[in-house]
Amino acid sequence: MPDQKMVKCLENSASQNMTQKIKNMFLFAAMVFAAEFSFGQDARLDSLQLQLKSSNENYQNLSAEFKKIESNLINLNTIVNFLSKSNNELETKVKLLESQTQRLILTNDSLLKSGGSEAGNDFVSNPKTEADSIVYVIQNYYKAGKWEDRLPFVLNSLAVKPLMEEAYKDRFKSYLIKKEEINIPGQNRKTGKAFKVYVDGTPVYLKKTSEGVKLDWEATSGYNPKSIAEFSSEKSETPTTFRASLRLSEFYLPDYGISKNSHLALSMDEIGFCYISNTNSKYAELKKLLSDGKEHQVIVEVQFRTLNNEYGSMESVIITKFIKDGWDRN
């Protein structure tokens, strides 16, 4: 039998070996854990570093944006201050202009009330000649404070009163006309004879009557019982007479039989292009009148006509009668 001591020794040796193995296993496990922990920490550290780097970049970007916003706010504040200053300056100028306008109105009112006596030779208060009478009528007609005050200077005032009331119900305006602005061609006019003068280049129609010189309101204002605009919208084929302004044109419609060989092309206010045939008895007279290339006030009869060709049809305005040069009826 084995010696008890030897057995004991073997048991102790086996126990020590087992213990050492266990220690070695624990040591190995610890080393593995430490390695894994160290690797995990390194990965986390790398991730944190990347996050920190990204946050830093975001911070830099935000700082740049904040600087831009700050700069824009400074610029905006500068603009607001500038606009505020400009607005104050504008208000000051408006007040100054209002003050100057008020003074001018008061000055004009003073001149009008005095009948022009304070204005030297610019205004006629006591006409002594035919020319003075013409100037007197024109100045007093245009300076009237309301349209009713114009009636004493108007031809056929009772007949035209309702027409004037309709015309001036929402757009009446007074004017101060100086003598030098009135051009009076001719002289020694006969009673009952209509004539034309010019105020700053614009025709004004008058008539010498037994009651003195009167302004022809219908002619001067270009009054038409039916407006040209209404006629144009209706495209009426019924011949209608109008006071109109005409001038030469070069717009023809050869595809519809309207050419230089057959018609004279004209331009009419509110209608556009219109034509008169060279077979019309007044063709040559109207062509001669308009040959200076200027716009002329005339009385004409017009109608819409349908023009046709192989491709279709269109409507055009044709002058059927040239009645007279000027807007007066006499």
Handedness of CA 121, 125, 129, 135 (dihedral sign): positive
pLDDT digits (tens, 9 = 90+) for 124-150: 999 999 999 999 999 999 999 999 999
- What is the spatial distance between Cα 201 and Cα 307, in angstroms, rounded to a whole number? 38
**In the predicted model, what is the mean pLDDT of residues 38-42?**
55
Higher pLDDT, 49 or 120: 49
Give residue 60's pLDDT: 72
- For every residue of 198-238, DSSP letters joined together read EETTEEEEEEEETTEEEE-HHHHHT--SS-HHHHHHHT--S
Q: Is the pLDDT of residue 218 over 60?
A: yes
pLDDT of residue 86: 44
* pLDDT 10s digits, 144-169: 999 999 999 999 999 999 999 999 99
pLDDT: is 90 or 165 the higher one?
165
Closest CA to 242 of 165, 320, 128: 320
For residues 222 and 85, which has the higher predicted lDDT (pLDDT)? Answer: 222
User: Residue 243 in 3-state DSSP?
Assistant: strand
How far is residue 134's CA from residue 216's CA, in Å, rounded to a whole number? Answer: 12
Query: What phi, psi does 273 have (nearest 5°)?
Result: -90, 140
| pLDDT on residue 81 | 46
Instruction: pLDDT band for 170, please (50, 70, 90 cuts).
Output: confident
Burial 245-277 (b: 16+ CB within 10 A, else e): bbebbeebbeebebeeeebbbbbbeebebbbbe
Which pLDDT does position 189 carry in this prediction?
86
* Integer Cα distance of 214 and 328 in angstroms: 13
Stated pTM of the model: 0.63
Nearest to 151 by CA among 218, 222, 220, 215: 215
- 3-state helix, strand and coil shares in percent for the chain, rounded to the nearest 5: 50, 20, 25
* Least confident stretch, 2-6, 63-67, 225-229, 316-320: 2-6
What is residue 186's predicted lDDT score, i.e. its pLDDT?
Answer: 86
Q: Is the pLDDT of residue 320 over 90?
A: yes
The mean pLDDT of the chain is 80
Compute the half-sphere exposure of residue 67: CA atoms within 13 Å on the CB side of its CA. Answer: 6
Spatial contact of 245 and 203, defined as CB atoms under 8 Å apart: no
**Is 230's pLDDT higher than 60?**
yes
Amino acid at 215: L
Q: Does 9 have pLDDT greater than 60?
A: no
Query: What is the distance between the alpha carbons of residues 251 and 272, in angstroms, rounded to a whole number?
Result: 10
